[in-house]
């Protein structure tokens, strides 16, 4: 029997787990209408939701697996050396060295680690084997909307000691990024090109940013922000990247601040593209800024919920940390942020091209 560890927010997933736990009936044999048939993972009910054994992940993908710390850590590796690392009770895992947050924590049962089924089908599998989901990914992002967070009488985060406001830094990064993306041959629009607010109240302001992207038929939406904390501000630094939380999942925020929902927002139509985009942008930000990896995360932010295109929100660094705020205040660091985001967009676009070419390449003829 599973050990007595069941956070109340995990129990709250019961309804979602019930919806996901029933395997569909086998369809009649007809000509396929889609290029990809989802794999029916074997599951075990733990803490009121369905979990998948990491050993089944290893078997399905042909990975080698090793366990450490009495089975509390599992490392899976493919022939190319790409690794997935899971640890008991953690709400994150590492893919090829990048920290990625899960919707539910990893748990231990029967001498093995288990990952929630929803995390496997909506996060782990699409990231590790994106070719299996190529039919759900968009084409090259030609028109990109850049959203400089805050503006006007909404300064966003602020470091009064250094004398810098979030709204000023985000606009500067957006203007720099616009030039870099246009140099890549992309069309770029800005939700704001000056120090203005799009609406007097926050909810409408955020909605108008998403509306702007939708009305212009954007292929990609990038919202630029800077972070802050009230506690332990002298020690908290780094970069985190957000995309829209998939349906039925908790966001990365503490359970008291977020509610698991069965509502499918318009932004959820881009779940697989969002995951792919967020991962590539986050890796590029880490490589370019050389900061602490605070993780690739998910949230139902107002600017992401109603997008009709893939979207990402980037918290580049912490204004509440004086040392990091001093860096943000320099044009050189803001240029570095812009270049890192541009690199992430290029990596995302290149990966899409590679997947598209693979999906269009016919298989080799069978040997006689």
Over 61-110, what HEC string results? HCCEEEEECCCCEEEEECCCCCEEEEECCCCEEEECCEEEECCCCCEEEC
Do 115 and 86 meet the contact criterion of CB atoms below 8 Å apart?
Answer: yes
What fold, for 143-355? Aminopeptidase (3.40.630)
CA–CA gap between residue 99 and residue 176 (Å, rounded): 27
CA–CA separation, 229 and 319 (whole Å): 9
Q: What is the helix (H) or strand (E) element at residue 49, kind and residue range?
A: strand 49-53
Query: What is the rounded distance in angstroms from the CA atom of residue 311 to the CA atom of residue 284?
Result: 16
Q: Which residues, including other chains, have CB under 8 Å from residue 188's CB and lie 6 or more apart?
A: 143, 144, 145, 146, 177, 178, 181, 182
| pLDDT value of position 367 | 56
Are 43 and 52 contacting, i.e. CB atoms less than 8 angstroms apart? Answer: yes
Phi, psi of 128 (to 5 degrees): -75, -35
Indicate the length of the chain as a whole number. 368
Report whether 305 contacts 268 (CB < 8 A): no
Give the residue carrying structure tokens 């501000």.
233
Structure tokens, 51: 């979990």
Same fold for the domain at 8-13+41-128 and the one at 143-355? Answer: no
Largest CA distance in the chain: 75
The residue extents of the domains of the chain are: 8-13+41-128, 143-355
Number of alpha helices (DSSP H) and beta strands (DSSP E) in the chain: 11, 17
For the chain, the first-to-last Cα distance in angstroms comes to 52
Question: Is the alpha carbon torsion for 172, 173, 177, 180 positive or negative?
Answer: positive
Q: How far apart are CA 64 and CA 83, in angstroms?
A: 10
> Would you write out the chain's pLDDT as a tens digit for each of its 368 residues?
334 334 433 434 433 443 333 333 333 333 333 445 567 899 999 999 899 999 999 999 999 999 889 889 999 999 999 999 999 999 999 999 999 999 999 999 999 999 999 999 999 999 999 998 888 899 999 999 999 999 999 999 999 999 999 999 999 999 999 999 999 999 999 999 999 999 999 999 999 999 999 999 999 999 999 999 998 888 999 999 999 999 999 899 755 555 567 889 999 999 999 999 999 999 999 999 999 999 999 999 999 999 999 999 999 999 999 999 999 999 999 999 999 999 999 999 999 999 988 776 655 665 55
The pLDDT of residue 261: 73
Distance, CA of 94 to CA of 100 (rounded, Å): 6
pLDDT at 145: 98
DSSP 283-303: HHHHHHH---EEEEEEE--HH
8-13+41-128: CATH topology: Copper Amine Oxidase; Chain A, domain 1 (3.30.457)
Q: How far apart are CA 261 and CA 5, in angstroms?
A: 23
Residue 115's pLDDT is 97
Phi, psi (5° rounding) for residue 146?
Answer: -100, 130
């Amino acid at each position: 029997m599973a050990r007595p560890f069941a956070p109340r927010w995990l129990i709250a997933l019961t309804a979602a787990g019930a919806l996901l736990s029933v395997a569909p009936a086998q369809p009649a044999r007809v000509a396929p209408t889609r290029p990809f048939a989802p794999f029916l993972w074997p599951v075990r009910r733990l803490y009121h939701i369905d979990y998948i054994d990491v050993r089944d992940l290893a078997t399905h993908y042909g990975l080698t697996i090793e366990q450490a710390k009495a089975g509390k850590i599992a490392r899976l590796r493919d022939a190319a050396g790409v690794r997935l690392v899971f640890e008991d009770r953690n709400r994150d895992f590492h893919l090829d060295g990048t920290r990625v947050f899960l919707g539910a924590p990893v748990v231990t049962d029967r001498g093995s680690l288990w990952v929630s089924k929803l995390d496997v089908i909506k996060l782990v599998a699409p990231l590790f084997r994106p070719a299996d989901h190529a039919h759900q990914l968009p084409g090259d992002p030609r028109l990109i909307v850049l959203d400089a967070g805050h503006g006007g009488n909404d300064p966003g985060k602020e470091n009064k000691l250094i004398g810098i406001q979030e709204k000023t830094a985000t606009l500067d990064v957006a203007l720099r990024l616009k030039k870099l993306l246009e140099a890549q041959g992309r069309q770029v629009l800005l939700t704001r090109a000056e120090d203005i607010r799009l609406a007097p109240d926050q909810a409408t302001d955020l909605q108008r940013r998403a509306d702007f992207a939708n009305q212009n038929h954007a292929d990609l939406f990038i919202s630029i922000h800077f972070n802050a904390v009230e506690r332990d501000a002298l020690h908290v630094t780094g970069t985190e990247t957000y995309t829209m939380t998939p349906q039925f999942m908790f966001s990365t925020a503490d359970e008291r601040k977020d509610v698991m929902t069965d509502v499918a927002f318009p932004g959820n139509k881009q779940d697989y593209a969002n995951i792919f985009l967020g991962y590539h942008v986050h890796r590029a930000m880490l490589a370019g800024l050389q900061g602490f990896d605070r993780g690739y995360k998910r949230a139902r932010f107002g600017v992401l919920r109603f997008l009709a295109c893939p979207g990402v929100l980037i918290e580049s660094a912490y204004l509440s940390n004086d040392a990091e705020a001093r860096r943000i205040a320099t044009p050189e660091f803001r240029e570095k942020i812009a270049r890192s985001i541009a690199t992430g967009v290029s990596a995302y676009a290149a990966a899409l091209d590679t997947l598209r070419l693979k999906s269009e390449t016919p298989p080799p003829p069978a040997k006689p």
